[in-house]
Amino acid sequence: MASPTLPISLSEVNCLSDEKFESVFGNVIELCTDAAVEVKKRRPFQDVTALCDAFQSYLEEIGIEDKLMVLKLHPDLAGRLAAQGELTPESASEQKAAGLDVLTAEQKKAMDESNQRYKAKFGFPFIICARENKVQSIIDGLQRRYNNSKEQEITIGINEVKKICKLRILDIVKN
């Protein structure tokens, strides 16, 4: 079967082969194909909300080590991968939507320093739903959230991943 033209209908989602489902939804949680492998087992979905909820449930049900792995799979915002053009298409589009592709030298320095400091403290990159933010709110968030505990940041980070995931699903599936 050829790749479906996006967006696809919910009935098409429910009829995708397991392999095609994993291909289509394999990056709704950044580089976490395990999520698609698990969520495909929950078909058929009654509506797009149920599909989104299945991915949200996956994120809630996995253990702390798997949550940490999900967080670590995300790239730094405006980081090395972005500079080298090596982001996933989804991440590149999201970072561009937030204006992270056109930072001033001062903003780039603030992002780089804050990203390094954050990652050194927590062991994973700062995660925020870029499509719901702009440059200054991201920089402010990096600085404000640095004062949180690791447990708080794991929870906040996973909640941000849920937002990103939902928006990516809505890009794929006709509502």
Measured at the alpha carbon of residue 77, what is the angle toward residues 36 and 26, in degrees to the nearest 5? 10
The pLDDT-based confidence of 4 (bands split at 50, 70, 90) is confident
User: Using one digit for the tens of pLDDT, what is the confidence trace for 46-66?
Assistant: 999 999 999 999 999 999 999
- Mean pLDDT, to the nearest integer, of 138-146? 96
Q: Which whole-number Å values give the CA distances from 52 to 26, 71, 89, 157, 164, in the listed order?
A: 14, 19, 20, 17, 11
68 membership: H or E segment, kind and range: helix 64-72
- Structure tokens given for 80: 């090395």
- Mean pLDDT, to the nearest integer, of 57-78? 97
Report the percentage of the chain scoring pLDDT > 90.
95
Q: Is the peptide bond before 44 cis (omega within 30 degrees of 0)?
A: yes
Q: Judge whether 74 counts as a catalytic residue.
A: yes
d(C-alpha 121, C-alpha 115), whole Å: 10
d(C-alpha 36, C-alpha 18), whole Å: 9
For 73-159, CATH number out of 1.10.3330.10, 3.40.50.1370, 3.30.70.260, 3.30.70.20 equals 1.10.3330.10
Structural domain boundaries in the chain:
73-159
Q: Which of 74, 145, 162, 166 is catalytic?
A: 74
